Structure 1
Amino acid sequence: MPKRTVIDTRVCPVAKSADVLGDRWTLLILRELFFGQDRFEELQSRSGASPQMLTDRLRHLIDKQVIVRVAYQERPKRYRYALTGKGKDLFSVLYAMRNWAERWERAEGDPLAIRYTHRACGQDVGLETSCPHCGDKLGFGDLKGTVVVESA
């Protein structure tokens, strides 16, 4: 497999973002963290990543200060992964990617894969970035997702 080309991230913000988020596994791990899956086994089964791939991407996200590892059990030692403020700020990025794919990559007639409900007013938000019912701007923690179509 050819090596990835190194992109100079000193100036370009898109290159800087790609350096942190630039592969499928990282995005799927973040998706699961946004859905509340925070343990290694959950992240592995829901993302489809191999244990080695998941370990590598979790270390990368920790190094980039997107997530932290938090002990939840002492014997045996067990950890969960939590989004930092930096990680929570990625919600709008993944939400925009979801909305783009639902608009442009969903087969005609297929339902939305995930339905989001605005927690504050209980209304379905469709593909909007502001609640069409109450007008609130939508961000991390504002939505409750219901998976309609299971996917990797």
Structure 2
Amino acid sequence: MPRRTDLSDTFCPVGRSAELVGDRAVLLILRDLFFGVRRFEAFQANTGLGPQILADRLKRMEREGVVEKRPYQQRPVRHEYWLTDKGKALFDVLYAMRNWAERWAYSPEENGAFGRAVRYTHRKCGTDVGLSSICPQCGDMLGYGDLKGEMSPALLAEREARVAR
């Protein structure tokens, strides 16, 4: 298979950012980080990624300054992964992807049967923000840390089934 072109030194901002966030595994890891997942085993269970791919992407995200490792156990040494400010700034990207998918990626039957996969509530005023980037109640711009996400029963069941495998 031909090797893809490395865009890490292109002047195009979309190409340059796609080098990191254009990777499915990285997006799934970021999704979990935004839901408070910190440990390797939980990432593996939630994403379905193999251990080699997961370890590679976490190392890459660390090299890029998106996450930092913090030890939580000494013998044996085990680490948690925490978002840096650079990583937290990617929230808007994933939130936009989520909003697009909620509007366009499901069939009408899926939307009717399950509703939204994730319901977001503005922490400050408690309003369900729907698919908005601005709180419909208080008018605040919404970003990292401003929202509380609640997975739908369908998404929770899917995640639990994946973990049980």
What is the TM-score with the length of structure 2 in the denominator?
0.87
Shift of 1:7: 3.1
Q: Which of 126, 129, 132 is residue 130 of structure 2 equivalent to?
A: 126
Q: Show the 5 A alignment for 1:80-91.
A: 80-91=80-91
Match of 1:24 in 2: 24
Shift of 1:6: 2.8
Return the letter of the residue paired with 1:130. Answer: I
Aligned 8 A contact 1:68 1:84 in 2: yes
Return the letter of the residue paired with 2:139. Answer: G
In 2: Cα distance, 1:78 partner to 1:7 partner: 33
Q: Which runs of 5+ in 1 are unaligned?
A: none
Return the letter of the residue paired with 1:76. Answer: P
Match of 2:74 in 1: 74
Residues 39-67 of structure 1 show CA distances to partners (whole Å, capped at 9, x for unaligned) of 00111111111111100100110010000
Q: Which runs of 5+ in 2 are unaligned?
A: 160-165
Which consecutive aligned stretches of 4+ in structure 1 deviate over 4 angstroms post-superposition?
Answer: none
Shift of 1:90: 0.3
Provide the secondary structure at the position in 1 that maps to 2:43. helix
In 2: Cα distance, 1:12 partner to 1:132 partner: 34
Match of 2:150 in 1: 146
In 1: Cα distance, 2:7 partner to 2:120 partner: 36
Match of 1:112 in 2: 116
Q: Percent identity?
A: 54
| Larger relative helix fraction | 2
- Over aligned residues, Cα RMSD in angstroms? 1.4
Return the letter of the residue paired with 2:141. Answer: K
